[in-house]
Amino acid sequence: MSSLHHVLLLGGSGKIAQLLTPLLLQRSWNVTSIIRDPAQVGNLQKLGEGHAGKLSVLVRSLEEVTSDAHAKSLIDEVKPDYVVFSAGAGGKGPPERLRDGTEKIDRDAACHFIRASVATPSITKFVLISFVTSRLRKPEWWTEEIWQTEQNTTLKALKRYYEAKVAADQVLHEEGKKRKDFAAICLRPATLTPEPAGKVLLGKTPVAKGTSSRASVAELTALLLDAPNVKSCWLDMHDGDEDPAAAVKRCIDEGIDVAEGEPYY
């Protein structure tokens, strides 16, 4: 059994977060789940039933986290050693929600919590859920056709979301360099689906279009947090044909980091 950890789960009412919560609790880890809507507390608390770990639910608005100091105060209140950022608008919703929620949560709150986590010595891992095409430059393992297609479709359709996520991804990469004992992990799924967890394609994926089961995203997040030798990295993921635990081990052993090719890499 893994040693006891305490995970701060930001965006705890999201679909991936709700799938992730029991995976963490069954490891005998404690989870503090941050949600915005007090009406969801009861349903979230049910996720903690029957597990060895303890689930706490806090009602806080991430949109109101407007500084690194504010994020640090919440971290100091919870006292986690791992942080998962799975909050955000997901590039969907009315225009005003996209503008305000996406910029305030996907970009600003994410960056505040990243910097605050790096500034907290007791925190050793941070997982940010991003998406596979959140990058500034074409990676060498994609063709020019794939990159141009993504720029003309996904990135154009989700412009605000892309701009927010690519900014947070860069901050995670740069802040993660500041501490050798800190794993800054960016997990980057393709189009999310409600399918059950299954086998995966992880690392330098040769395609951008594809699907990623939310349950598989949750499973990979738990495995990455549980991996003792994981280091800072970006990992693209799709549904695929490799066992998730084997895929995580391979990526760690080979030192795979798909941030390669970005201007700040």
Structural domain boundaries of the chain? 6-254
List Cβ neighbours of 86 (8 Å cut-off, separation of 6 or more). 9, 10, 11, 12, 14, 16, 17, 20, 129, 221
- CA-closest candidate to residue 56, choices 73, 70, 77, 85: 77
The answer to whether the beta carbons of residues 205 and 234 sit under 8 Å apart is no
Query: Pairing relation of β-strands 125-129 and 82-85?
Result: parallel
On the question of pLDDT at 84 being above 60, the answer is yes
The answer to whether the beta carbons of residues 48 and 24 sit under 8 Å apart is no
214-226 and 15-25 helices, crossing angle to 10°: 40
Q: How far is CA 39 from CA 11, 44, 93, 101, 248, in A?
A: 14, 10, 20, 19, 36
pLDDT, tens digit (0-9, with 9 covering 90-100), for 85-111: 999 865 555 565 555 679 999 999 999
Selecting from 3.40.1160.10, 3.40.50.720, 3.30.910.10, 3.40.50.10320, what CATH number does the domain 6-254 have? 3.40.50.720
pLDDT, tens digit (0-9, with 9 covering 90-100), for 163-218: 999 999 999 999 999 999 999 999 999 999 999 999 999 999 999 999 999 999 99
pTM: 0.95
- Per-residue burial over 139-149, b = 16 or more CB atoms within 10 Å of its CB, e = otherwise: beebeeebbeb
Residue 60, exposed/middle/buried by CB under 10 A (0-12, 13-18, 19+)? Answer: middle
Q: How far is CA 182 from CA 58, 68, 198, 232, in A?
A: 25, 18, 29, 7
Q: Phi and psi at residue 34, in whole multiples of 5°?
A: -100, 125
On the question of pLDDT at 3 being above 80, the answer is no
pLDDT, tens digit (0-9, with 9 covering 90-100), for 242-259: 999 999 999 999 999 999
The answer to whether the beta carbons of residues 251 and 52 sit under 8 Å apart is no
Confidence of residue 2 (pLDDT cuts 50, 70, 90): very low
